[in-house]
Chain A
Amino acid sequence: MRIIYTDVLVVGGGLAGLRVATGVQERGHRVIVLTLVPPKRSHSAAAQGGMQASLGNCAMGWGDNEDIHFEDTVKGSDWGADQQVVRMFVNTAPKAIRELTHYGVPWNRVRKGKHTAIINAEKVEIEEREEAHGLITARDFGGTKKWRTCYTSDGTGHSMLYAMDNKAHENDVKIHERMEAMSVIHRHGRCYGVVARNLMTGEIVAYIAKATTIATGGYGRIYEVSTNAIICQGTGQAIALETGIATLGNMEAVQFHPTAIVPVGILTTEGCRGDGGILRDVDGYRFMPDYEPEKKELASRDVVSRRMIEHIRKGKGVPSRYGDHLWLDITILGREHIEKNLREVKDICENFLGIDPAEEWIPVRPTQHYSMGGIRTKYTGESQTLKGLYACGEAACWDLHGFNRLGGNSVSETVVSGMLVAEYISDFCDSPQSHIGISTGAIEDFVRIEEEKIRRLLNNDGGEDAYVLRRAMEKIMMEKVGIFRNGRDLQDAVEQLEQLHIRSKNISVFRSKSYAANPALVVAYRTQKMIKIALTVAYGALLRTESRGAHAREDYPMRDDINWLKRTITSWPDPEQTLPTVTYEPIDILEMELPPGWRGYGKRNIIENPDSMIQQAKIDAIRNELLARGADRFAIQKALMPYEHLLPEKYRGRNERLYERFDDEKDEV
């Protein structure tokens, strides 16, 4: 048996994982990153459109600040987000982007003078300020009041991930590639690392650490069609769930992106619409203004996706061999713009559709895209129930996105949460509580369990075929746990998935019996985990009898702030149970800085909670009083919902902008 000891173990080499790793290493802790693929191949590389940070450099972003970013994010989440976390995030995002600049990300820059842009299908002239020349520019994205999404053409994730990985290289961060975390090692409510399997040799290794971070990305691949990479299979969430102690949050909150190409489900970035692209139906008619007169194509993703499906259901879809779709028209942006700022989109259209998007419309349909749910953590990234286990990035639910994430907030979150969690972990490692109290014998038990599982899969003859089970699961999720959900389908889905789960205990590996590099074996054990994750999603969706953000129930179309303003918490305490255990964590309106209301887009279908009005009145009173006393926005914010004390000290400072300088004393009234 091989045991590898380190201070901090990070599972996942995407943006989030790498940022945690460099952070803790800079604080003097030894770190090892485990990853399925070389970090540069992580799915973060696929992010196209951009990263939100309220820099306010470009003309259309002028006047932007943390307050507006906060409001956009909370509304986007349909009030599901943890507002303190949102505050921490929006205050750190500008710092993160400036840090990334130092790491080498070649952000697109403001060019002084006039340029034209397409807004609401019309050419508009915009003039950029002289003093902003050379600062980071931004584009428009859905659900935001300002142009806030910073980008490098449409290869933002690629540039960010490469810069981050290069940074990790420079710092000599230890990366163990092709190592898959198989289970979490824990004892007496304390996590001590993971059991991992070497995908090339098949060797099972124990990694023991004071703190373990799961940054394994989303679980999109439980759906048949998804914009996610093949490796986004939710195994990180699954191993946390399988501890029986750690919990998952809001697993039913699954985002569908409006514009993935048909049929393969490859994404065309929201930047297409942000830069002025529009949606058209079978008649070539631009339908979104009819549904969303205010934000049109740029309402939040959940809203646009639903409107598209509604429109298709009215018979306005474009029929095709692969079902109905709609058109995304970016021809109006002009070839030059497309070749410069949407090159990846152009490439994708040429390669996967054989069309030229500067000339032709792109066939699109809403497609699974993002997992708002994940390992439930405190604001520090630590599991609420399993000490020493941390999570961040898409794998986690610390709860920045609630029931719907805004475009551009995710890559931003990966880096911000990485920065913050690295500090909290370092503090933990510096404390005596981080002592590793597990014997070699106990570690061995965890290793044996995994070895035994593999042996059983390989030796089992005549059992179930993992491919068959996986296809069945993917289909159920697609057909019954999609954009619009209803009780009958969800009930069906849960029952069928439960059966698949039971059958998955009897999987055989048919095609190859090798312990080493054996893709059939990998499919087998991952399928077992994926079905569990699918169950948490479907079951959570069945129980939540309201519509909030991306979770839309046709039989319960109202957002119910009286009964459902709460987070879904899922666990699997007994390995023998065939359905997860679901409980709820309330979200208190009386502690909110922004009480629930209408989002400004989407349907006004709300069962209001009387607390919302009470809290709003309280907030108005405080605000008015402070304004009368001449207080600035920081003082007002602090009075409403203090959060700065939660941030690591080094990230508490204010962010300067061209229009907002803090030359003197930074302290507030």
Chain B
Amino acid sequence: MSTERITKKLTFKTFRFNSETDFLPYFKTYEMEVGKDELVLDILNRIKWEFDGSFSYRRSCRHGICGACAIKVNGKPVLSCKQNVWELVDIFQTDTLLLEPQSKKRVVKDMIIDRSDFWKKHAQLKPYLEAEIDEHPEEEIKVSPKEAEELLEADYCIQCGSCYYACPVVEVNEEYFGPAQFAKAYRFNADVRDTAKTDRLETVREMGPGVWDCVKCFECAEACPKDVNPIEKITKLHNQLFEEGLAQDNVATRHAVGFKHSIIKHGILDEGELVRYSEGNIGVLKHLPEAIAMFKKGKIVMPWNMPKSKNLDEIQTLVKSSSKVKF
């Protein structure tokens, strides 16, 4: 057995800030030899153990299930316990990596941010099953496997916040619920046992905080370490709004209706439409080229571009139900 070990010398520019004592944040640089199987979390640990015991970050399960350890590296949202360092070196073609918290304006200390806005918005969407509970359930509720599958991946969300703090709308619009929150709303709305669907739809249809303000940039789908694909769930909420006749006459719904020709014709939205859709939302505009570039690289798949048999149906339902709405 050979015991050779190859390492790379890497530089980590690390965001440091203590809201109690520091007036301004600063970057501190740590250099390390990093092995092939080291993860971002290993680097955070090493900063704490080898350089500075006060360096703060969150982690617990260290295998991608508790959602505590999400940060950004060179702007890319990652779960630090799952993200391999060499892979990042590969992606970014650099030996210098920038370690930053998910959102700099919410920093409490170093990598730790105050996620209370994330949790608070989550709580507003009734993130629980509303169903009559029998105190002594002697019989089970039946849910057919097909119905159970309706939840799709929405139940896998670990609330790491990666999508939320990557979402350009959250960045500019404080009231916007956010992708994880919508995915959660969808998760309960899709549950046959639940009885609060209408309530949730009435909340998510609001202009400003609601689903119509999503600019379909796909950042959330890209950021999610659990393949929850929030944007797809947002589309499904749009769908439910039309189906339940709860879509109100507003700019966005009209826009959605206007899209239908484009969708039928091309199967995808064209970029021009997308830009117009988000007009007025300047912070978002600057983000679009990236999203589109990513789409072109094939990194993100439009939900309506997925295997035809499944998604064409869905588009057609959307189109059909949106056509029923009179504006």
Contact = CB atoms under 8 A, between A and B. Distances in A.
Interface of A: 37-38, 40-43, 45-46, 55, 57, 95, 98-99, 101-104, 106-111, 133-136, 152, 155, 158-159, 162-163, 166-167, 169-170, 200, 229-231, 264, 266-267, 319-321, 343-344, 347-348, 351-352, 467, 509-512, 514, 516-520, 523, 650-651, 653-656
Given A98-B140, A99-B137, A519-B53, A109 B145 contact: yes
B20 interface: yes
State which size class the interface on B falls in.
35 or more
Contacts of B133: 99, 102-103
A351 B48 CA distance: 24
A512 B49 contact: no
Contacts of A135: 140, 142
7 contacts: A45-B66, A98-B139, A104-B128, A231-B60, A514-B18, A519-B48, A519-B56
B155 interface: yes
B156 A158 contact: yes
A95 B136 contact: yes
Given A38-B119, A43-B61, A135-B140, A106 B148 contact: yes
B159 A169 contact: no
B20 A516 contact: yes
Interface of B: 1, 3, 18, 20-21, 48-49, 52-56, 58-68, 82, 84, 108-109, 112, 119, 123, 126-129, 131-145, 147-148, 151, 155-156, 158-159, 188, 191, 193-194
Leading 9 A-B pairs by shortest Cβ distance: A511-B53, A512-B54, A520-B53, A104-B129, A134-B142, A166-B128, A98-B137, A41-B66, A229-B60
B144 A102 contact: no
Best-surrounded residue of A38, A41, A103, A111 (most CB of chain B within 10 A): A41
Contacts of A155: 65, 155-156
Nearest to A320: B1
Given A519-B54, A519-B55, A43 B60 contact: yes
Contacts of B134: 102
Contacts of A99: 133, 137
A104 B54 contact: no
Nearest to B188: A104
Contact of A653 (B65, B112, B119, B136): B136
Nearest to A352: B63
Nearest to B57: A519
Given A133-B144, A266-B63, A655-B138, A170 B48 contact: no
A200 B108 contact: yes
Contact of A37 (B48, B68, B148): B68
A517 B12 CA distance: 23
B137 A101 contact: yes
Given A104-B128, A517-B112, A46 B53 contact: no
A41 B60 contact: yes
A135 B119 CA distance: 33
A152 B155 contact: yes
A37 B137 contact: no
Contacts of B131: 102, 104
A155 B54 CA distance: 34
